[in-house]
Structure 1
Amino acid sequence: MEKLLLAAHVLAGILFVGPVAVTASLFPRYAPVVGPPPGRGAPDRSVATALHRVTRGYGVLALVVPVVGLLLAGVQGRLGEGWITAAMVLTAVAGGLLALRVVPIQREALESPDDGTRLRGLRALTGVFNLLWAVVVVLMVVRPGAA
């Protein structure tokens, strides 16, 4: 059971979180802006719309990652370990950032383009989202303080 949960946890992370990291990062490049795009590739509303749809859809599917991770930690008897708690907190922060900031800002950018100011903020938020997941992966590999 433990190996099955571990495989499901890793695969879900790769197949669901990975695409969200990529599509959320690419979205600002293709999102429509008012006026000429400052130093960017040509905006393409259809590409931006597809990237938003994938970010949103795979973001929901990515909920499998922490659910299976918690089951795995329970089976392994590791729920009380600090690195698991830290990973859960960072995962919750990343998920909240995606659901409450990144996806809504993408939607706003599609509905009412601005001069690109909103997209600069979105780039920063997406970078934080990706950094949080990178730290979670490092915690999963290094497991500081693991018994």
Structure 2
Amino acid sequence: MSKLFLTLHVLAAIVAVGPVTVAASMFPKVLREAQAAPDDPRPVTTLRTLHRISRVYGGLGIAVVAFGFATASSMDVLGSPWLITSIGLTFLAALILLLLVLPRQETALAAVAGPESDTAQEAGGAVAVRLDARAGARLAMVTGVFNVLWATVTILMIVRPGSTTGA
């Protein structure tokens, strides 16, 4: 059963976390393009797609956690320090996504889409949302932290300090 859970855990990580890290990383660059060409609707359309990918696949990331716990339980490693560290880093990454990345993407999208857009209506009505000059840079920074946390968790999952696999 461990092999099945591990396979599902890895597949869920690839399918769910991969798209979030890529989409979230692309968002700040496309945001700069949208700000540079306010009359061009293409960057705004791309931003909507990237935000949706970040939001939907971020939610699917719950499967990674569920299969991860099932795998760890079946392998009897729930008390291992490397796993506890990975769980903490995963929780921190999830908080960063939910509390920093996604809300900032929504605000940025509302700002470039205009006050009458559906995005602006969802973000707080028809009031124009303004971004300061550093909003894209701050979004890139928190997205980078999110990605570094996932990379660290991936490394811990592969190296597993104290494992008997010889790694």
- For normalisation by structure 2, the TM-score amounts to 0.80
- Equivalent residue for 1:25? 25
Flag the structure with more relative contact order, 1 or 2, with Cα contacts below 8 A and sequence separation at least 6: 1
Query: 1:142 deviation in Å?
Result: 0.7
Query: 1:116 deviation in Å?
Result: 3.9
Q: Which amino acid aligns with 2:25?
A: S
- Residue in structure 2 matching 1:127, options 130, 144, 148: 144
Measured in 2, the distance between the counterparts of 1:103 and 1:146 equals 36
User: Which of structure 1's runs of 4+ aligned residues deviate more than 4 A?
Assistant: none
Tell me the number of residue pairs that the alignment of Structure 1 and Structure 2 aligns. Answer: 141
- Equivalent residue for 2:93? 94
Secondary structure of the corresponding residue to residue 14 of structure 2: helix
- Equivalent residue for 2:57? 58
Measured in 2, the distance between the counterparts of 1:2 and 1:93 equals 26
Query: 1:49 deviation in Å?
Result: 0.5
Instruction: Decide whether the 8 Å contact of 1:82 with 1:145 is kept in 2.
Output: no
Measured in 1, the distance between the counterparts of 2:52 and 2:84 equals 31
Measured in 2, the distance between the counterparts of 1:86 and 1:43 equals 41
Q: Which amino acid aligns with 2:110?
A: E
Query: 1:115 deviation in Å?
Result: 4.5
Q: 2:138 matched to 1:139?
A: no
Measured in 2, the distance between the counterparts of 1:26 and 1:136 equals 21
Unaligned ranges ≥5, structure 2: 113-130
- Equivalent residue for 1:107? 106
